[in-house]
Structure 1
Amino acid sequence: MSLHDQYPAYGGRGPSDLRLGIALGTIATIFMVMRVYVRLRVNKFGTTALMLSLLAWFFTTLTQIFGILSILHGLGNHITIITAVGELHNFLLFTWITVFFFNLAIPTGKVAVAAFLIEMNGPSNPKIRRSLIAVAVLNIVLNIPQLLMVWFQCTPVNSLWNPLQQADCDHRKSVYYTYFVGAIAALSDFYLAIVPIHMLIPLRIDRKLKWGLSFLMGLGVFAGVAAIVRTWAAKFILDVDSSYGVGVLFQWGEVEEWIVLICMSIPPVWPLFRPFTHRFISSSVSRSQPQYAYRNQYGSQPLYGSTAVASPLSPSFPPPLITTTISISSMKEAGASTIVPSEASPRNSNERVPHNIITDQKNAPWVELKEMDGKRSP
């Protein structure tokens, strides 16, 4: 038996909304499981952000569950069909419950992203820290009236899902306020997507890694685009065929909710993907590092890669070894995201072994680039 046979009001935009929500929700849930694993088994960074992310995931999951119930009872389908099959009461009830949890999930997700970026930034940039706190507080404060408006659009409250008492409801104030809050939400998404890029660009790490992480963390701009579209789609609540138009609002609301959770989970789960990136990302000595040359003690040809240069050093004392182990420190104790080059250590023997200063595996950073192989002097 198909869903349409079991739920006669199911149809229109509903099936596509259903598939999109389940697909995005599955991806986000996998990322959340990986975040919990990394927190328990790899490092202790980002506990506050993780707890807020789990809360946002919980509210978003509830939104999706009630959204699915709304779709099965007519969300995304034409109001005439819903009325003809007698599902208008269920459609109204589940739809407004979905809207309520949606108004909880959206600000919680943005607060979780802000908390993560605050922990990532540390005390190194107080301006960014204050701006992130402002974004979090603004989204919480502005969404409180919207939560209340859901239940006070009608007098009495149960008129909200009573098909015979819809004349007692006035949705205009809620819709107009949604325009304002939606604009703030979109601006918040854009800002939260740009800030991590601003943090990564100054870091002197492999260019592929830098732009790759910037791209992945910047995917939050799609949440901002989704916020703009779903804010525009709020007008369909006042439309005669509201159930069909609200399908657009719900679809873009799903994208906004789940994309925020997915994008915020990319940096914390990086340790799980780091071993697979070594073949694509290689570290290199920073251009600001002093460049050394030394002579082979068995010959007069100076060695620096394949280029012959003059050496100011004694052939018996090779220069300090500059290794190229670089990491983005993400431990809470470290404060801010920093580059940690490995220390230089002079060696008296011809055996030159790169030295890695990162030894605490329990507090491993998110990003640790592969060392250059040590080379033995000929």
Structure 2
Amino acid sequence: AYPYSSLQVLSFALTVVSTALAIIACSLRMYSRSLTRSFGIDDWMICTATLFTINQCWSSSLVIHYEYIGVHAADIPVHDEAKALLYSWLAVVFYTPILSLVKTSILGFLLRLGGKQRRGVRIAIYTLITLNTLQIIAVLAVTIFQCTPVNLVWSTPSSAREGLRCINPGVLVLSVASWNILTDILVVALPYRIFFDIKTNKRMRNALIGVFMLGIVVTVFSIVRLYYMYRIFFTVSPDPTYSLGYILSAIESNLAIIASSIPALWPLARLWFPCMDSKLGINHHY
């Protein structure tokens, strides 16, 4: 019988539920935009990121199954790792563009909110958009073609690739994760400068900043993921599969989609909770 464990079931559940919440957040965002007829490229980027995270969900779930994630190493039977390696590679490929798409979407949204008004902020936004775009292209290419020939990725475990034409996967993962955290911090810092220039009351300004600061949660989670990725690739564990470390990538990308969609739900929130206007001191229509 397949050696299921409660931790593996939890891994499946967290992966699927977080993805479902990301889909709901994206759907609500699009509905909110339909109310104001203000669809923008930032919305389509979130939709694209959501499509990637859906694919990451099923591929990660198959990795959990075939790699026996959440199962004690002593309970894992002899098995062919080829399927686990293939789906693991696919999961990483699907994961790679998500955070950059989300950050580019946030930057586009900030431009719509007033990021074009100050030259310094505008340059910072366009610079970060360019860097994120280049990252998607470069990292996706490196991830897909990390071995030559490519099939070595799913036919040879990373521990057995010494001497082969392959990039060290641990170095690749940690490098990309570190860069993502750096750009996360830069993107999270931008709303402060923009919203202080918006002519509105203090409560409204603080509410806007507070909503955008949800990105800090994603950044903290990214740091936690970086730590676990380091442990996975560069430390020796007697029970490496009995951990939730693997699913952090899926949760991270889904949290990013959710957090980035919340600011766009403002029209929907005002429709559902009319009392918000008076509480925030809004006396006119936006």
TM-score by length of 2: 0.82
Shift of 1:27: 2.0
Say whether 1:123 aligns with 2:123.
no
Matches within 5 A, 1:210-225: 210-225=205-220
Structure 1: how far apart are the matches of 2:276 and 2:37?
Answer: 27
Say whether 1:282 aligns with 2:244.
no
Residue 132 of structure 1 aligns with which residue?
125
1:133-167 CA distance string (max 9 Å, x none): 22222133234443333344445432322368962
Matches within 5 A, 1:288-307: none
Residue 297 of structure 1 aligns with which residue?
none
1:266-289 CA distance string (max 9 Å, x none): 22221111145443552799xxxx
Change (3 A) 1:104 1:243: farther
Residue 174 of structure 1 aligns with which residue?
169
Structure 2: how far apart are the matches of 1:164 and 1:158?
Answer: 11
Percent identity for Structure 1 against Structure 2: 22
Q: 1:26 pairs with 13, 20, 24, which one?
A: 20
TM-score by length of 1: 0.64
Contact kept in structure 2, 1:66 and 1:95, CA below 8 Å: yes
Shift of 1:113: 1.6
Shift of 1:188: 1.8
1:47-86 CA distance string (max 9 Å, x none): 111111111111111111211111122234455544x242
Q: Which amino acid aligns with 2:209?
A: S
Residue 112 of structure 1 aligns with which residue?
105
Gaps of 5+ in 2: none
Structure 2: how far apart are the matches of 1:246 and 1:100?
Answer: 22
Structure 2: how far apart are the matches of 1:130 and 1:49?
Answer: 18
Shift of 1:120: 2.0
Change (3 A) 1:140 1:237: farther
Structure 2: how far apart are the matches of 1:102 and 1:284?
Answer: 38
Q: Which amino acid aligns with 1:186?
A: I
Change (3 A) 1:278 1:165: closer
Change (3 A) 1:283 1:206: farther
Residue 264 of structure 1 aligns with which residue?
260
Matches within 5 A, 1:325-340: 325-326=283-284
Structure 1: how far apart are the matches of 2:191 and 2:60?
Answer: 32
Matches within 5 A, 1:312-331: 325-326=283-284
Shift of 1:13: 4.7
Structure 1: how far apart are the matches of 2:121 and 2:69?
Answer: 41
Alignment RMSD, CA only? Answer: 3.1
Shift of 1:220: 0.5
**How many residues are matched?**
281
Task: Specify which structure has the higher proportion of helix.
Answer: 2
- Name segments (4+ residues, structure 1) moved above 6 Å: none
Gaps of 5+ in 1: 286-323, 327-357, 359-364, 366-378
Change (3 A) 1:17 1:191: farther
Residue 61 of structure 2 aligns with which residue?
68
Structure 1: how far apart are the matches of 2:46 and 2:249?
Answer: 17
Residue 233 of structure 2 aligns with which residue?
237
